[in-house]
Chains A and B, each alone.
Chain A
Amino acid sequence: MQHSVSIRDLSLNFGNVKVLETLNLDIEQGEFIVLLGPSGCGKSTLLNCIAGLLDVSAGQIFINGKNVTWEEPKDRGIGMVFQSYALYPQMTVERNLSFGLRVAGMKKEEIERRVARAAEILQIQPLLGRKPANLSGGQRQRVAIGRALVRDVDVFLFDEPLSNLDAKLRSDLRVEIKRLHARLKNTMIYVTHDQIEALTLADRIAIMKNGVIQQLADPHTIYNKPVNLYVAGFIGSPSMNFIEGTLDGSSFTAEDGTAIPVATYDFADKSKAAGKAVLGVRPEHILLGEEAARMPYNAEVEIEIVEPMGSDTLAWTKIAGRPVTFRAASDVHLEAGQKLVVGFDPARGSFFSSDTTERL
């Protein structure tokens, strides 16, 4: 089956600044891809290139097998949703939805049918006669999605669509976008800097840094087997704990001399598993009490700070001389100064080479 969107050796420079560098990406039909990265990593630029709003410096873009590198945005079969909604302020919701269709010179009945369908899917029928100024943020974003919907396109592009909404609306609309994808089964490319959005929505996540895709994988792999230190540190909140030290075949020695057995860890290439390295452990993989005693590594530690989060509790302590956070169920009583045994299995963690920052 042909790819829905294919990007071949795409580069984009603004003067001397390289924003995207020989980037390759294949997106399957009906896939939900999230481009995730900090601001300035080139993710929105990449989306604008796919939309045809920016001219590329080198490379090609294919949509449904057709080379659209030189095509106008309207001829690419894409619909786009913007962060600021970008609704035309002087037009009613109905006119906003139908603008693209009217530009295309479509028949009136067909326009009405499509607007009605989009309004039904997004449940904005009562709003059709209103102007954008009289809508709430969530309603505006729904209309913006509707504007992409009526065009009956193959590929949806979302440019941080939820970033202007408050936290509650954001999680509501997030679910709705997921529902929309389940119903429409279109290809969707979604740009965000919010890792929760990325993890919850994506079939695959592309983590970007400085115009280069660091890792492209499903959320589970991204979370549990990050390919390098950057991805490991970027994904996860609170972020992964890092302990620096030296690897030698069978054990990992932290900088303060603490030895951590690594026999259970599945190295990609055992011969390279030597020298300076960083061990990464997620806070929820550090266990307490009896469970900790059964782990390959355990130690008694003193709790420094406790942060109750409602659903669980976050505690700060030190392991092998490094500040470490771990997560405990909210019904476990923890307090500062308390001493207890914690432990983890390095197999659930990740080792990274200190030199290359790559996963070992």
Chain B
Amino acid sequence: MSQTATMAGSAPDTSVGVEPRGPRPKPFFTPTKIIIYSVLVFFTLYFLFPLYVMVVTSFKTMPEIRFGNIFAFPNQINFDAWIKAWTSACTGLTCEGLSPGFWNSVKITIPSTIVSIFIAAVNGYALINWRFKGSELFFAILIFGSFIPYQVFLYPLVMITREMGIFGTLQAVIIVHTIFGMPILTLLFRNYFGSLPQELFKAARVDGAGFWRIFFEIMLPMSLPIFVVALILQVTGIWNDFLFGVVFAGTKNLPMTVQLNNIVNSAQGTPEYNVNMAATVLTGLVPLIIYFVSGKLFVRGVAAGAVKG
């Protein structure tokens, strides 16, 4: 019986010579795969190449750079440029390197991130779970805010912070960052909380929990992925910010990006390319580390927050 069955089944395949059985073979070198991987490799190189040049240049000495081979590997690994960028490069009038700017950026980023994420999480939670009259309109206006260019708000915000007496202080930058983080973060949290089962919220209400109790004990413990997304968005966004830092922070609190600009765009003396490169890599390091550490959670969270629009 089985003999005839296999005979019948394999008859059309005699040219191939293999009787199909078990998992279908998946050859690696198919035209589709070759195209996909070539494109991926090409773009990976395309984006990695400038990074390579930067890192290599930062380890060279100036005479070696003047020699001209920007793609060549350094003759000798030399950390002088990194040390100078961190401790003694001139950023405008002072020559203390990037380190004060780094700490200023830390002082701006940490509170701005925490405050903006917390407020946005409460906003999103209230908008989806405690709907009030006009909550949809409120949300629409909030989202509309994200379409207006920052520059439009700049002068009014300068006036407002000046009237509040905090212009040129850390508080001013923190408040501004919190305001501008609000639309996108609220949207993110609202959609995420909306994707959690409504019955959980109802059950907690029947159990007698109030607004804050449900938020802290039921909602927050379920929200790690979306918090990671918000964290990455805010840390990278605020860390990379230049405009608000230079306008609102005041000369004492200028963030790292502003000082980097002062080093790189300095009009005095010969440009020290190795120091510029080292300073740039140093400035970009924080967002880079954040991405590497939380990449997986980031993807999961973005997917979770985006499902329902």
Residues of A within 8 A of B (CB): 48, 51-53, 72-74, 78-80, 82-90, 99-100, 103-104, 147, 151
Minimum-distance CB pairs A-B, first 8: A74-B208, A100-B207, A86-B199, A90-B221, A86-B203, A82-B199, A103-B208, A73-B206
Q: Chain B binding site: helix, strand, loop or mixed by DSSP? A: helix
| Complex-state Cα separation, A147 to B199, whole angstroms | 14
Q: Do B206 and A88 have beta carbons less than 8 Å apart?
A: no
Interface size on B (CB < 8 Å)?
Answer: 16
Interface residues of B in 83-101 (CB under 8 A from A): none
Q: Do A86 and B205 have beta carbons less than 8 Å apart?
A: no
A87 → chain B closest CB, angstroms:
8
Partner of A99 from B197, B202, B209, B221 at Cβ < 8 Å: B209
Q: Do A82 and B208 have beta carbons less than 8 Å apart?
A: no
Q: A90-B221, A90-B222 are in contact. Are A84 and B197 (CB under 8 A)?
A: yes
Which residues of chain B are within 8 angstroms of A78 by Cβ–Cβ distance? 206
Q: Do B206 and A53 have beta carbons less than 8 Å apart?
A: yes
Q: Do B203 and A80 have beta carbons less than 8 Å apart?
A: yes
B219 → chain A closest CB, angstroms:
10
A71 → chain B closest CB, angstroms:
12
Interface residues of B in 174-222 (CB under 8 A from A): 197, 199-200, 202-209, 213, 217-218, 221-222
A82's nearest neighbour on chain B, judged by CB, is B199
Which residues of chain A are within 8 angstroms of B206 by Cβ–Cβ distance? 51, 53, 73-74, 78-80, 100
CB pairs A–B below 8 angstroms (24 shown): A48-B202, A51-B202, A53-B206, A73-B205, A74-B205, A74-B206, A74-B207, A74-B208, A78-B206, A80-B206, A82-B202, A82-B203, A85-B199, A86-B200, A86-B202, A86-B203, A88-B200, A90-B221, A99-B207, A99-B209, A99-B217, A100-B207, A100-B209, A103-B213
Task: Please indicate which of the listed interface residues B200, B202, B203, B222 has the most CB atoms of chain A within 10 Å of its own CB.
Answer: B203
A88's nearest neighbour on chain B, judged by CB, is B218
Residues of B within 8 A of A (CB): 197, 199-200, 202-209, 213, 217-218, 221-222
Partner of A80 from B197, B202, B217, B218 at Cβ < 8 Å: B202
| Complex-state Cα separation, A83 to B199, whole angstroms | 8
A152 → chain B closest CB, angstroms:
13
B195 → chain A closest CB, angstroms:
13
Task: Please indicate which of the listed interface residues A52, A72, A84, A103 has the most CB atoms of chain B within 10 Å of its own CB.
Answer: A103
Q: Do A89 and B202 have beta carbons less than 8 Å apart?
A: no
Partner of A147 from B202, B207, B213, B222 at Cβ < 8 Å: B207
Starting from the known contacts A52-B205, A88-B203, 18 additional A-B residue pairs (CB-CB under 8 Å) come to A51-B202, A73-B206, A74-B207, A80-B202, A80-B206, A82-B203, A83-B199, A84-B199, A85-B199, A87-B203, A90-B221, A99-B204, A99-B207, A99-B217, A100-B209, A103-B209, A104-B208, A147-B203
B197's nearest neighbour on chain A, judged by CB, is A84
Which residues of chain B are within 8 angstroms of A48 by Cβ–Cβ distance? 202
Which residues of chain A are within 8 angstroms of B207 by Cβ–Cβ distance? 74, 99-100, 103, 147, 151
Q: A84-B197, A88-B200 are in contact. Are A53 and B205 (CB under 8 A)?
A: yes
A95 → chain B closest CB, angstroms:
10
Which residues of chain B are within 8 angstroms of A79 by Cβ–Cβ distance? 206
B306 → chain A closest CB, angstroms:
21
Q: Do A86 and B197 have beta carbons less than 8 Å apart?
A: yes
Which residues of chain B are within 8 angstroms of A74 by Cβ–Cβ distance? 205-208
Which residues of chain A are within 8 angstroms of B222 by Cβ–Cβ distance? 89-90
B218's nearest neighbour on chain A, judged by CB, is A88
| Complex-state Cα separation, A87 to B201, whole angstroms | 10
Which residues of chain B are within 8 angstroms of A51 by Cβ–Cβ distance? 202, 206
B209 → chain A closest CB, angstroms:
5
| Complex-state Cα separation, A89 to B221, whole angstroms | 9
Which residues of chain B are within 8 angstroms of A52 by Cβ–Cβ distance? 205
B25 → chain A closest CB, angstroms:
38
